[in-house]
Amino acid sequence: MDRIGDIALFLRVLDLGSISAAARSLDLSVAVASQRLQRLERDLGVRLLHRTTRRLHATPEGAVLAEQGRALVEDLEALSGSLRQAGAGIAGTLRVTTSATFGRLYISPLLPEFLRTYPNLNVSMHLTDHVLDLVSSGFDLAIRIGTLEDSTLVARKLADNQRLLCASPDYLREHGWPRTPQDLANHQCLILVGSQGRADVWRLGDGAGGEVAVRVRGRVEANTGELLADAALAGLGIAMHSVWHVCDDLRAGRLVQVLPDYPLATNGIYAVMPQRRLAPPRVRAFVDFLAERWRDNPPGGADGGPALGRAHS
């Protein structure tokens, strides 16, 4: 166990960039942490770390240990958690990150039931529209929406994410209704700016299994869907949104669907976790809980979702 503990300390140093930060996170003194790292290097017969001007980095041998040792440490932690679960139930602190709006609307209302089900479990929620590195930030999992990028993370799909184009009735009365995707080029479109740049190419189905790509423009762009939803409600343009984000406004008629004959591709709502063969029990419990709650009532759809009938000009 000393060897596994020393490897876990080494990984924490790499994640946090310094021995002192790793020592604080593990409630160790810097001297003890340094001695344990020296012991690990001595036992393995290689140097694992080298220092640059600002932080510690792995040597080539250290990089190999980090790649293969992380899975060993995580599997041991997961196994230990499973064994503890048998006697004491699911416990500890579950650290989750997700987008601010989605977390507030669709995860926050479920937390009371989840915490009643697992009274020995604490939850730490971090709501942000930034995509964070789960390992270096210390999160157990993220709830992410859209098309996932290739990565070493493990993902489980929890629900479909239906999307559409929408605008306020006032905007459409003033500017007219687009009849085809090409008409969007002559409209004010509200553009999301994310980690991959400006999402100003909108791809719509053509009704025959193909796709139409249109480059759009507009006077308003933002890095958060909240502002774009507000702009659409204010009559400033046409927005692309997930149904869960605007379902209440669609039901109330404050927004209406645009170009329903040219649907946007459906993507997903995912639980994303660091790669490991055994997920900790607290993570499995939360992911299973969300999957069960959203199986028949996905965010923004099914029971309580908007009636996405044909909007008429």
Full pLDDT tens readout for the chain, 313 residues: 577 788 888 888 888 888 888 888 888 898 988 888 888 888 888 888 887 656 787 888 888 888 878 777 777 776 666 555 544 468 889 999 999 999 999 999 999 999 999 998 999 999 988 788 787 778 899 999 987 776 667 889 999 999 999 999 999 999 999 999 999 999 999 999 877 788 899 999 887 778 899 999 999 999 888 999 999 999 999 999 999 999 999 999 999 999 999 999 889 999 998 876 567 888 989 999 999 999 888 898 744 344 444 444 4
DSSP letter at 106 equals I
Q: How far apart are CA 252 and CA 34, in angstroms?
A: 62
Give the residue from 271, 283, 278 showing the smallest Cα distance to 71. 278
Structural domains in the chain plus CATH codes: 2-86 (1.10.10.10), 90-160+267-295 (3.40.190.10), 163-258 (3.40.190.290)
Which tokens hold the place of 216?
Answer: 């759009």
Q: How far apart are CA 94 and CA 273, in angstroms?
A: 12
Q: How far apart are CA 247 and CA 101, in angstroms?
A: 13
Instruction: Give this prediction's pTM.
Output: 0.68
Which helix (H) or strand (E) segment holds residue 10: the answer is helix 2-16
Burial 204-223 (b: 16+ CB within 10 A, else e): bbeeeeeebebebebebbee
Distances (CA, A) of 275 to 8, 12, 74, 100, 281: 16, 16, 9, 24, 15
